[in-house]
């Protein structure tokens, strides 16, 4: 069953590729008008151009000024936002602790964690005007447990996303806004293909009880569930969607 999100207004960060692109396409298919936020202007415009009701807005989610400017564009066109998907994230190179520079540490935390803080904070006034405000944060299995190699800063940032999700859920509940997180395991995106070689990808797939990577579309379907009216009494939760790789 596909959730009906007709007449809802959604914002997706990191929407030019991978999970973000799949979320934007899924939300639009479910009936929402979608704002796509990304630093990748060409990629974002290409995705938005293929949708009947969508708008691309250039946004550096690690910049407070950049986020404010992007939200101003959204606010000039609508008086409310119903769904916010904080998807932007990732890491460029897989390094161990001793080979991670302080500069790279801050860059990864800014992209994966600080962005969730900045965008949600700026978007809160628009979400409050919705009758069914939903915030969905993309966390990760890496923020729940150690399961093979990962970037230390990425794991720390995603653990922070899960914690911040609970704090935001508590604070925004009085406004009827729910805040939940998804914790995927290994999703076969362009980024994964760039940071892990074929042997590493095969080993990861073999470590998952279901025996394969997830697709971005499978994560997008969970976003639709959390954005729907059916999830209206669920908040402050991190949903583990990992093929059985981590069972709490």
Instruction: Choose among 31, 33, 30, 26: nearest CA to 10.
Output: 33
User: Which of these is catalytic: 33, 91, 117, 154?
Assistant: 154
Q: How far apart are CA 47 and CA 51, in angstroms?
A: 7
For residues 141 and 183, the answer to whether their CB atoms sit within 8 Å is: yes
Please report which helix (H) or strand (E) contains residue 73, including its range: helix 64-77
The reply to whether 154 belongs to the active site is yes
| In the block, residue with structure tokens 């150690």 | 146
Q: How far apart are CA 158 and CA 109, in angstroms?
A: 9
For residues 175 and 133, the answer to whether their CB atoms sit within 8 Å is: yes
Q: Which residues are catalytic?
A: 154
């Amino acid at each position: 069953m596909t959730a009906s999100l007709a007449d809802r207004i959604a914002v997706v960060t990191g929407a030019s590729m991978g999970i973000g692109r799949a979320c934007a396409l899924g939300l639009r298919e479910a009936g929402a008008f979608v704002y796509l936020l990304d630093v990748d202007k060409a990629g974002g415009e290409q995705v938005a151009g293929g949708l009947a009701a969508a708008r691309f807005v250039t946004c550096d989610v690690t910049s407070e000024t950049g986020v404010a400017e992007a939200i101003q564009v959204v606010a000039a066109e609508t008086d409310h936002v119903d769904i916010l998907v904080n998807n932007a994230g990732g890491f460029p190179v897989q390094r161990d602790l001793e080979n991670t520079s302080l500069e790279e540490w801050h860059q990864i935390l800014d992209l994966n964690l600080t962005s969730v803080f900045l965008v949600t904070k700026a978007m809160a006034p628009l979400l409050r005007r919705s009758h069914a405000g939903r915030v969905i944060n993309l966390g990760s299995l890496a923020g729940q447990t150690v399961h093979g190699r990962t970037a230390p800063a990425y794991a720390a940032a995603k653990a922070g996303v899960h914690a911040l999700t609970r704090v935001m859920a508590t604070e925004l509940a009085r406004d009827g806004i729910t805040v939940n997180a998804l914790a995927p395991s290994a999703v076969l995106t362009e980024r994964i293909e760039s940071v892990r070689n074929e042997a590493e990808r095969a080993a990861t797939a073999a470590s998952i009880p279901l025996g394969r990577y997830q697709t971005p579309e499978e994560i997008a379907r969970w976003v639709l569930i959390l954005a729907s009216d059916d999830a209206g009494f669920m908040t402050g939760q991190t949903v583990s969607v990992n093929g059985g790789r981590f069972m709490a």
